Amino acid sequence: TAQTPATAAAVPSDPAAYFGMFDGLPCPDDLATARFVFQITSDVEMCWLMACENGASFTVKQFSRAKGLPVPPRDATVKYKTLSVFEKIATNLMREDIAFLTGKLRVSGSMKLLDKLDPVWKEALAKRGIEAIPSSNDLAAMSMTMERGDDTRGVDEGGDDVRDGVGA
């Protein structure tokens, strides 16, 4: 389904505002201890740790790190190649599955937990008065690709990126 520019503009493209939408949202039971890292690559990576450590609600903390330094413990990592890629995906101007298949979006760790974030994402949008647009812009398509073993670009059977040590 195509997205209108007005709808795209309503979704925050600023990473801090986008990930901030999740802060304080209730954690589903199946994500009660989940930890996710979202990284936007540059010389100093912008990162957000989204965690359900207390089992009640998500907390979102921003941190920066120089390339090569360790990332906090997490169940899954979503890594955007550039800020522009993040902005296009956040505003639904680029499909996540296409970004993944072209190497602009990398995912490692538990795909099953990442897929369970979809209802949380929809709730975050609903709280801002934005209706989630049905599309194939979800992590399920990437998950199916990895489960079939179609991705030969350095992701092992467990979904971990084995090229640069960023796997969970």
- DSSP β-bridge partners for residue 59: 51
* Domains of the chain and any CATH numbers: 5-148 (3.30.1050.10)
Cα 15 to its chain centre, rounded Å, is 11
Q: How far apart are CA 16 and CA 47, in angstroms?
A: 10
| pLDDT at 129 (0 to 100) | 78
> What pTM was computed for the model?
0.70
CB 2 within 8 A of CB 41: no
C-alpha torsion sign, points 16, 18, 23, 28: negative
Q: Other CB atoms closer than 10 Å to residue 89's CB: what's the count?
A: 23
Structural tokens at position 73: 């413990």
| pLDDT at 110 (0 to 100) | 94
Q: Other CB atoms closer than 10 Å to residue 138's CB: what's the count?
A: 17
| pLDDT at 31 (0 to 100) | 92
Structural tokens at position 99: 């970004």
- Helix ranges restricted to H, 116-156: 118-127, 139-148
Encode the chain (168 residues) as per-residue pLDDT tens digits.
444 443 544 677 788 888 998 999 999 999 989 999 999 987 667 899 999 977 789 999 998 877 677 778 899 999 999 999 998 988 888 998 999 999 999 999 999 999 998 888 888 888 887 766 554 445 544 444 444 344 433 344 444 444 344 443
